Structure formats: structure tokens, C-alpha cells
Structure 1
Amino acid sequence: MEPFHVNGKMDGKKLASAIAVPVLGGAAVGWLANRDAQKKFQRLEKPGFAPPPAAFPIAWNILYATMGFARYRAGMRKRDKGMEDSFPSYDVQLGLNFLWSFLFFRWRLRGTALVEMTILLGAIALTAERFYKEDKAAGMLMAPYMGWVLYALALNAAIWKKNDWK
């Protein structure tokens, strides 16, 4: 089985677009939301389970590419069924994902970011379920993203507690 082929077909433009939207969108949001925020972030008290700062861009690029690939696979299955390949839950979770960076880094609303991330986790789970109905591999590809966001939720909560609850 070739992973980029769904039902024996591959659409290179759809694949590139599905991956480019979250990867490039995430890069743009990261640049806009995190400008000048990294120095302030480094000064925050963080829990012992916080990863080194270099881990974040590596992890997010992999996760964005993986979620885009999942979107491509699920969309190709849906399109093969003669249906429109839209997934509103995917669009919502991606928008929430991008919003979180502004809440946490740019606007320093860490409590609000925590609540928003909880909603994001639900939107990811819903998207994974919808993808799984169309293509089991697409649904499973969302699992690492869900795991990372769950970890990020704990990290967000710990940073908020250590810094803003004083």
C-alpha cells in the first residue's frame, strides 16, 4: 500500500495543499504571535516536564504535516464517495490551534488559553472521529496531535499556576 494513494488514486495538488495550509499557517501564526514573546517566555517559571524550547517548532511542524496528511486521506475517501470533502470540525480545530498562540504568547491570557485548549482538544477528538469514519489511517494519524495537545494542556496549566496564580 502506498500511503499517498487512497483507493488507488493520488492527487498531488490536494496533498500539497492539505499539508501546506497547517504548516504554513502554523509558521505564520508562530511568527506573528511569538515575536518578542520568547524572551518573556524564557523568564517564566516552568514545570520540570517542560521540553527544551527547540522541541516546539520541530514537534509542531511534524504534527501540522501529519494532520494535513490525515485531512488529505479523509478528504480523498469522502470525495470518492461522491461527497464534498469538507470537514468543518477540522477547520474549527485548526483555527482554535492558531488562536491559542495569540492567547498564550501575544496576549498572555494563560487561563483563557487553557480553557480554549480544552475546547481545542474536544475539536481534535471530533475531527479524529470524523476522519476515522472515512479512513481509519486518517483518524489514527490524529492521535499524536491529540497526545501532544493533551501534554501542552498540562504544560499550559502548570505555567499558569506557577506564574499567574501568585
Structure 2
Amino acid sequence: MNVLASPAQLRASFFRWALFTVPLVLLIGFSAGQLGGPDTPWFAGLVKPAIFPPTIAFPIAWTTLFVLIGLSMALVASAWGAHGRGLALAVFAVHFIVTQGWTLVFFGMQNMIAGLMVLGFGIASLLIALALVWRVRRSAGLLLLPYLAWLCFALVLNYQFLAANPDGGPQNADGAEMTVTL
């Protein structure tokens, strides 16, 4: 027998999922941030593009985006019985885990070209995930649009870092000079 859930039950399901997905997304995002960061001599020595925002913008933007992502995933996860729900969650999970590797690649490995590739994958895979999420819950898709905009900005910023530092920036930690070819 199929029984439709009441609006109160649907809200309760969403809140339960949000209590799981928002902290999970925050944990993954902040953990990825520990794999590298801008507080290195290499990054300090890079020529900064004109569009590089104040440093304080990054933690504010990412925290806001992580909360929106968590809420979006809670909306999808709480859509029990929705066609494509599991696929949307799985595709987004793969996208998110891989894209969080950008910090390690760009800051940790000091590889701007590979960072650009991670962001390219991130945008392409987010567009696929966004289409799948949109089919399950339009409101969940809307919550992901600021994240898409930020990834596009990050791609442009990463490219401008590469263009402004064609030699790869200052020497890396082991003293070997880094070279980057365009």
C-alpha cells in the first residue's frame, strides 16, 4: 500500500537529512582545505591577478556555498521515491569529492595546470549533476547555481594565475624550479 507523506513528515525528513548533509559537506570541504592553502612561500611569491579578491572572501564564500550544497543535497535525499534521486546523489558525490582535490593540486602540489583541469572537470561534472538534481527537485538545483558561478570564477582566476606566472611561480619547497608551459 502506498501512502503519501504529509507536509509535516516531508519537512521532518528534510530537516533530518539537512542535519546530516550540511555538516558532512562542511567537513569534507574544510578537510580538503587542510591539504594545502595560500599560506605558503610559493603562493606568496606568485603575481596575483587583478580579479583576485581579498583573502577573507574565500572562507566566507566557501562556508556559504557548503551550507547551500548541504541543503541542496538534503532536498534531494529527502525526495523519497523520486525518479533519479540515487543517481543525482551519486553523481554529485563524485563531483564534489574530486573537485575538493583542487586545493591539494593547486596549493599542495603547486600545479596550476592540473588545478585548471580539476576545475574544468568540476564545472562539467557539476552541470551533469545539476541536470540530475533539477529533475528531482528544482529548488535543490537552484541552490547549486551560486556554486556553479563560483567554480566558473575559480576557473577564470586559476587561468589568470597561470597567465600571470607562466614560469610556475617561485621555486617549490625542495628547491627545484617549477616550470609551466602554456
Structure 1: how far apart are the matches of 2:107 and 2:97? Answer: 16
Contact 1:18 1:69 in 2 (8 A): yes
| TM-score, with structure 2 as normaliser | 0.79
Structure 2: how far apart are the matches of 1:24 and 1:93? Answer: 16
Aligned partner of 2:99 among 97, 100, 108: 97
Structure 1 stretches of 4+ with a deviation exceeding 3 A read 5-8, 80-86
Aligned partner of 1:21 among 20, 24, 28: 24
Alignment of 1:102-113 (within 5 A): 102-113=104-115
The structure whose residues are more often helix, as a share, is 1
Contact 2:10 2:78 in 1 (8 A): no
- Aligned length, in residue pairs: 160
Residue identity matched to 2:166? D
Structure 1: how far apart are the matches of 2:63 and 2:94? Answer: 19
Name 1:43's counterpart in structure 2: 45
Structure 2: how far apart are the matches of 1:53 and 1:63? Answer: 16
Q: Specify whether residues 34 and 6 from structure 1 end up closer, same or farther in structure 2 by C-alpha distance, changes over 3 A only.
A: farther
Structure 1 segments unaligned to the other structure (5+ residues)? none
Aligned partner of 1:141 among 133, 140, 143: 143
Task: Please give the root-mean-square deviation of Cα atoms over the aligned residues, in Å.
Answer: 2.2
Q: Specify whether residues 55 and 18 from structure 1 end up closer, same or farther in structure 2 by C-alpha distance, changes over 3 A only.
A: same
Contact 1:121 1:146 in 2 (8 A): yes
Aligned partner of 1:58 among 57, 60, 78: 60
Greater Rg by CA: 2
Structure 2: how far apart are the matches of 1:94 and 1:73? Answer: 17
| TM-score, with structure 1 as normaliser | 0.86
Structure 2: how far apart are the matches of 1:98 and 1:31? Answer: 11
